[in-house]
Amino acid sequence: MNDTYTGAVPSKHQLIWQDMEMGMFVHFGMNTFCDQEWGEGGDSALLFHPEQLDARQWAREARQAGMNYLILTAKHHDGFCLWPSAQTDYSVASSPWKNGQGDVVRECADACREEGIGFGLYLSPWDRHEPRYADKEAYDDFYCAQLTELLTGYGDLMEVWFDGAGSEGRVYDWPRIIELVRRHQPGAMVFNMGEPTIRWVGNEDGVAPYPCWNTAESAPLSMFAAESATWLPSTPKWVPAECDVPIRRHQWFWHPDSEDRLHDLDHLMDIYYRSVGHGCNLLLNLSPDRRGLLPELDAARLQELGAEIRRRLGTPAAETSGEGSELTLELDAPTAIGHLVLMEDISRGERIREYAADIRIGGEWRELTSGFSVGHKRIEPLTPVTAEAVRLRVLKSEGEPLIRSLQAYAAV
């Protein structure tokens, strides 16, 4: 093979992460009890009392819906810690929940392990409670100490989520923060700040543009910053995007009487096509309520999503793989096709720049769709069309195209 590809390639851990495709974000904390999205850090720890908290329900619902990881807000902007941090008393340890003996991070880590899904943590750099936030050096020490507790106390983490919101214009000690992550959790993805290994897609709608490439020099920092995040010079070129979105429109935390904001199944499927279907990961947020449980309605909608993805894209009618700029997939019999799925072997880079897909019917070929990026995955939903065979033609590539999978799904 005359392989001329010299572009970026993913790390082993990025490959594992991209294969996970879907995760559940869990926003839970002081805001849950105060009907707010951004607490100012002054709400009493006594308000935190999720009497029926069951992290197993969260992890079970995630796994059953086909989500392969879960990311919990260990500390949001209000500074309240879901674990008994030794760095502050603004935490579960000062709450009436389990008489101050509880640890939500521990329960969630254990639940994810039991369910066999990955576990990651969100630790807001912006902290509206901690008085040391005003003192850069002192806060860097505080933040690094909190992060160390999380990186060393809860087993393997697959992702650490650094949220840029509220930190516009603020500089943290990124080299030190990244060194801690690398030292204690070498397999963890780093989200969007410092020396990220994955990037924010740039909106909170859960959708990626198309084409969406796996390489990037920068990404937006937050919804509130015009400029992009400043990454350390050693940031890898391969930095795939993650699409985050709450299942209730614009609400990351639980609020009473907001069921009408729950996205319907069509909308969630559209998000799926425009995130996973554009080669990115989808991080869909569900919010436990004041009981500490995912509301039944939200959990049911999540399961509807999982079931619909399985219904449409469960088992391909035919599948093949191969190298080179043309690949044909023969179907056993003429079949009404509802989806095409293309995947590159990205372990050796993202090589396809432009492609077309054809179908053969009655012995005649005709072009059906065309596009640009494929990367980890490209899902093409189709108006059902009958075909005897499908052919992928790579029109432009860097180096030899390597097709991990070309799949055709029967229309359902």
Q: Smallest distance, Å, CB 139 to ligand FUL? A: 18
Strand runs labelled E in 21-80: 22-26, 69-75
110: how many CB neighbours lie within 10 A of its CB?
17
Strand runs labelled E in 48-99: 69-75
Residues 64-103 that bind ligand FUL (CB under 6 A): none
Q: Smallest distance, Å, CB 316 to ligand FUL? A: 34
Tokens of 20: 């996970």
- Residue 163 binds ligand FUL (CB under 6 A): yes
Among residues 48, 49, 60, the alpha carbon closest in space to that of 110 is found at 60
Q: Are 15 and 61 in contact (CB under 8 A)?
A: no
Q: Are 208 and 241 in contact (CB under 8 A)?
A: yes
Task: Give 39 or 375: the residue with its C-beta nearer to ligand FUL.
Answer: 39
Task: Give 76 or 391: the residue with its C-beta nearer to ligand FUL.
Answer: 76
Whats the size of the chain, residue-wise?
Answer: 412
Task: Give 119 or 252: the residue with its C-beta nearer to ligand FUL.
Answer: 252
327: how many CB neighbours lie within 10 A of its CB?
20
- Residue 304 binds ligand FUL (CB under 6 A): no
Rg, the chain, Cα only: 22
Tokens of 266: 């069509």
Q: Which residue in the set 222, 281, 335, 373 belongs to the binding site for ligand FUL (CB under 6 A)?
A: 222
Q: Smallest distance, Å, CB 255 to ligand FUL? A: 13
Tokens of 178: 């990244």
- Site mask, ligand FUL, residues 223-252, x = CB under 6 A? x--------------------x-------x
Q: Smallest distance, Å, CB 219 to ligand FUL? A: 13
Closest residue to ligand FUL: CB criterion = 165
- Residue 37 binds ligand FUL (CB under 6 A): yes
Residues 361-390 that bind ligand FUL (CB under 6 A): none
Tokens of 11: 């790390």
Q: Smallest distance, Å, CB 37 to ligand FUL? A: 6
Q: Smallest distance, Å, CB 192 to ligand FUL? A: 10
Task: Give 20 or 165: the residue with its C-beta nearer to ligand FUL.
Answer: 165
C-alpha to C-alpha distances, 137 to 81, 109, 131, 161, nearest whole angstrom? 21, 31, 12, 22
Task: Give 280 or 331: the residue with its C-beta nearer to ligand FUL.
Answer: 280
Alpha helices in 154-247 (DSSP H): 174-184
Cis peptide bond upstream of 211, omega within 30: yes
Task: Give 163 or 289: the residue with its C-beta nearer to ligand FUL.
Answer: 163
Task: Give 207 or 382: the residue with its C-beta nearer to ligand FUL.
Answer: 207
Q: Smallest distance, Å, CB 161 to ligand FUL? A: 8
State the DSSP H helix or E strand holding residue 311, giving kind and residue range, or none if neither.
helix 296-313
Task: Give 223 or 265: the residue with its C-beta nearer to ligand FUL.
Answer: 223
Residues near ligand FUL (CB under 6 A): 37, 163, 165, 222-223, 244, 252
